[in-house]
Amino acid sequence: MSRWELASRTRIRAFREGPFVLLVAEGELPSPGYEVDIARSLLRIFPQQFNLLRRAKPGIFPQHVTPYRYAEAVRYPEDQDTITVHHADGTDHVDIEPAGKDLVSFVEAVRGGADRPAPPAGAEEAIGLSSKLSFDEAFANAVANLPPSDIILADGLARVQVLEIGGLFGGFAGFHHLFVRVSRTIT
């Protein structure tokens, strides 16, 4: 696989639901032989910044410009109203909009639907998403999205439990994601 590099974009939008922001990037790739990702910037700065990335996939592909739409949900401080995304054309400070009616499925995935299992009392919750429909990736993302624990015990044990697994497909954000909701209790 080739290395990740900053990708160009035509538009980036951001939508908030609770502690999560859905970043939706649109643009063009040199060919269909590229994949897109949004990753945390390595800059140690508050609030966290993000990079819009692309890399070539192995193989031979036709050489024609290919439009893309990529969505990624990230944990982001609720008191911030803009989010910074670096890309090949520079940096955007994107205004965060509230998640509207078009994102009802995303809101239910983040909040949980009415029929979702209830977490244990005192548990913290988070979700993780995978655009590759990988449970391992979505679970690891959910665990990483859990808030930092204030409880530090030498013999403490954290129990992470899967509460819900589902998929989001289509919509204006171009979802093709597996989501995993987890809860954490510390004993």
Q: In this predicted model, what pLDDT tens digit does every residue of 42-73 receive, in sequence order?
A: 988 999 999 999 999 999 999 999 999 998 88
**How far is the C-alpha of 179 from the C-alpha of 108, rounded, in Å?**
11
Q: Where are the beta strands (DSSP E) in the chain?
A: 5-6, 11-17, 20-29, 34-40, 50-56, 66-75, 82-87, 90-98, 124-130, 158-170, 175-186
Report pLDDT for 126.
Answer: 86
Instruction: Look at residues 144, 10, 12 and name the one whose alpha carbon lies nearest to residue 82.
Output: 12
Q: How does pLDDT run across 105-142, given as a tens digit for each residue?
A: 888 888 776 666 667 777 888 888 888 899 999 999 89
Report pLDDT for 29.
Answer: 96
Report pLDDT for 147.
Answer: 81
Report pLDDT for 2.
Answer: 84
At residue 150 the predicted structure's pLDDT band, cuts being 50, 70 and 90, is low
Antiparallel, parallel or unpaired: β 158-170 and 124-130 = unpaired
**Lowest-pLDDT choice from 11-15, 83-87, 145-149:** 145-149
Rounded-to-10 torsion of CA 28, 34, 35, 39: -80
Helix H or strand E encompassing 106: helix 104-111
Report pLDDT for 153.
Answer: 60
DSSP 142: H
Instruction: Look at residues 112, 144, 164 and name the one whose alpha carbon lies nearest to residue 39.
Output: 144
Task: Quickly name the fold that domain 101-186 has.
Answer: Dodecin subunit-like (3.30.1660)
Residue ranges of the chain assigned to CATH 3.30.1660: 101-186
Report pLDDT for 47.
Answer: 93
Report pLDDT for 24.
Answer: 94
Q: How does pLDDT run across 74-111, given as a tens digit for each residue?
A: 889 999 999 999 999 999 999 999 998 888 888 888 87
At residue 152 the predicted structure's pLDDT band, cuts being 50, 70 and 90, is low
